[in-house]
Structure 1
Amino acid sequence: MTNRRELADFLRRRRELLRPSDVGLPDGLRRRTPGLRREEAASLAGVSTDHYTRLEQARGSAPSETVLSAIARALQCDLDQRDHLFYLAGMTPPQRHAGSFVRPGLIALAQRLTDIPVLICTDIGEIAWCNPLAAALMPPLPEQPGRGRNLIWRWFAQPDVRPAPPEDWARMSAGHVMDLRATYARRAGDPDITSLVADLLDASEEFRGLWERHEVAVRRADVKTFIHPEVGAITVRCEVLLTESADVMLLAHFPAEGTDAAEKLRLLRVIGTQDFDVTARREGASPTGG
């Protein structure tokens, strides 16, 4: 049930907090009240001024999900504020998706894990951040966002640069697809994942065969072996740490017990750091590419 009084109060207070310059409008000379005018908020949301005014006056018809989402964007609500807006309107908020945004606190945590490879990825495999040791362990990453920074796309569209031994390919391919299947259902209709799946279906016969099986499994841990051209095989235990919204994850790779992975990672840390320092000085680039 819509809490009209609280909804009206929240909308008014959010609108009054915004200055015209915050949304790309001129400040003007004659503003008797603080913040945006109602007609400005309505225009930014793509709704009629009358409909928006009625919401602020706790009357009229209940807003639709589409209208609420548009108003939340217009009033520059963060995810917590957007969810609150939906709850006041008696609706379940949309699922949260951080996209490529990573909270600074998560990066600060990852930066303290200097002796193991660490990646921060979205739930569709896009690498948002990685530390130098992880960058040294993998094939080179492009600096710009795009398919080249997507782990799943690289695995299927560029199989010649897979960093794993061939005997592991079938298991890891199946794991990628089963995990992506779960995300595909959870984020049904989202253009970023539908376009990724469509491109993968076009690019990889292996992906098409696995996708048609419709097998689902969310990966929370794994054991992987990376083949590095200088230090050889490194077997690691990958722990997947999910954020609250489960669409950004931290992948921490620990040396597998009973192997020489810890020694090789220490060596790679020295070799990789030296290589990245030279490249960064030559190109003026960030060693992580993030």
Structure 2
Amino acid sequence: MTVTAARLDPDALRRRELASFLRSRRERLHPDDVGLATFGRRRTPGLRREEVAQLAGVGVTWYTWLEQGRDINVSVQVLEALARTLRFDRHERAHLLALAGAGAGGSTATHRTVPDGVLAVLAQLGSAPAVVMNARRDLLAYNDAYERIFPVLAQLPVEERNILWLVFTHPVWRSSMPDWETAVPRLVAQFRGAMAEHVAEPAWKDLLKRLLDASPEFAALWERHEVLGPETGCKRFLHAQFGLLRLDFTHLWLDQRIGTRMTVYTPADEATRASLTLLAAAPVDSAARADVAELVHR
């Protein structure tokens, strides 16, 4: 009897994702990277399973079962050895531990309700764009300044107000990102990293399926198995009226266990500061919003 992905229990889904992640990381390493001598031509890319097992100090059969997604016991010590052998960075190591069920744990609930106090803070930020998101990158709430940078939001149903969905499916959103080629792979890596704690949850699986079906670009990035955690820094946005905006962003965690945070954008230079002030004072152009809506839904 064949078991479909939809019928796999949460632990089986996590083991399957762990197996794919380990294979992808094993295949990206060359024997020279880990000090192994090579003789002749190799038929498969990267390290062999037995080489990983040898370097990590575990049995070949045990490691093979791990890559096959079998239900076996894995200690934190062994996972740490695998992380060192496969040259994991801190994000990949945390991802490995989460997939193996050795992470920090905690609630996996995702809330769409934003408390009134948080909404009040958003409203008081004035010309500073701010948005509340969950770990899945759903846009739960945002202030007027944020909407003035992205007027497309006013035309979208709630289920489409997700950063990943907008980045890969809406041309207006994409055109606002001059650094799309470098920023978006990092966004996908952060999504994969966050999903380790939610692989069996219907809302996460549904979003992943929609993205894979809708965007070959997303599918290609997803297959890289890159993982990252949340970051702060500077982003550039291209506004139709005010041109290039350079904004520093900071995450204010509302519930770090489930990934809900308020992200506040502040001007990174005086030109952006002046543009945000003018943008906050400018009237909302309903005709411009209609033009945006028409372009989004083409």
Give the TM-score normalised by the residue count of structure 2.
Answer: 0.57
Match of 2:266 among 254, 259, 268: 254
The AA in structure 2 aligned to 1:131 is N
The AA in structure 1 aligned to 2:280 is R
Assess if the C-alpha contact under 8 Å between 1:116 and 1:253 holds in 2: yes
**Quick check: which has more Rg, 1 or 2?**
1
Q: 1:192 aligns to what? A: 203
Q: Does 1:225 align with 2:236?
A: yes
Q: 2:158 aligns to what? A: 145
Q: 1:213 aligns to what? A: 224
Report the CA distance shift for 1:132/1:165 in structure 2 as closer, same or farther (over 3 A). Answer: same
Assess if the C-alpha contact under 8 Å between 2:133 and 2:261 holds in 1: yes
RMSD, matched Cα = 2.2
Match of 1:155 among 167, 172, 180: 167
Assess if the C-alpha contact under 8 Å between 2:122 and 2:130 holds in 1: yes
Structure 2 stretches lacking a partner, 5+ long: 1-103, 288-298
Cα deviations by residue, 1:20-69 (Å, 9 ceiling, x for unpaired)? xxxxxxxxxxxxxxxxxxxxxxxxxxxxxxxxxxxxxxxxxxxxxxxxxx
Could you tell me how far apart the structure 2 residues matched to 1:251 and 1:197 are?
23
Shift of 1:229: 1.1
Q: 2:132 aligns to what? A: 120
Assess if the C-alpha contact under 8 Å between 1:178 and 1:214 holds in 2: yes
Cα deviations by residue, 1:167-198 (Å, 9 ceiling, x for unpaired)? x1111111210111012101121111111011
Q: 2:27 aligns to what? A: none
Match of 2:284 among 269, 275, 283: 275
Could you tell me how far apart the structure 1 residues matched to 2:258 and 2:271 are?
33
Q: Which aligned pairs between 1:162-201 and structure 2 lie closer than 5 A?
A: 162-166=174-178, 168-201=179-212
Q: Which aligned pairs between 1:49-88 and structure 2 lie closer than 5 A?
A: none
- % identical aligned pairs: 25
Q: 1:236 aligns to what? A: 247
Could you tell me how far apart the structure 2 residues matched to 1:201 and 1:226 are?
25
Assess if the C-alpha contact under 8 Å between 1:175 and 1:219 holds in 2: no
Could you tell me how far apart the structure 2 residues matched to 1:127 and 1:99 are?
11
The AA in structure 1 aligned to 2:166 is R
Shift of 1:235: 0.7
Shift of 1:143: 5.7
Cα deviations by residue, 1:70-101 (Å, 9 ceiling, x for unpaired)? xxxxxxxxxxxxxxxxxxxxxx9961424211
The AA in structure 2 aligned to 1:110 is L
Report the CA distance shift for 1:160/1:134 in structure 2 as closer, same or farther (over 3 A). Answer: closer
Assess if the C-alpha contact under 8 Å between 1:164 and 1:224 holds in 2: no
Assess if the C-alpha contact under 8 Å between 2:150 and 2:173 holds in 1: no
Q: Please identify runs of 4+ aligned residues in structure 1 that moved more than 6 A.
A: none
Q: 2:14 aligns to what? A: none
> Aligned residues, how many?
182
Q: 1:266 aligns to what? A: 277
Assess if the C-alpha contact under 8 Å between 2:108 and 2:198 holds in 1: no
Structure 1 stretches lacking a partner, 5+ long: 1-91, 280-290
Could you tell me how far apart the structure 2 residues matched to 1:161 and 1:108 are?
27
Assess if the C-alpha contact under 8 Å between 2:247 and 2:266 holds in 1: yes
Report the CA distance shift for 1:114/1:122 in structure 2 as closer, same or farther (over 3 A). Answer: same
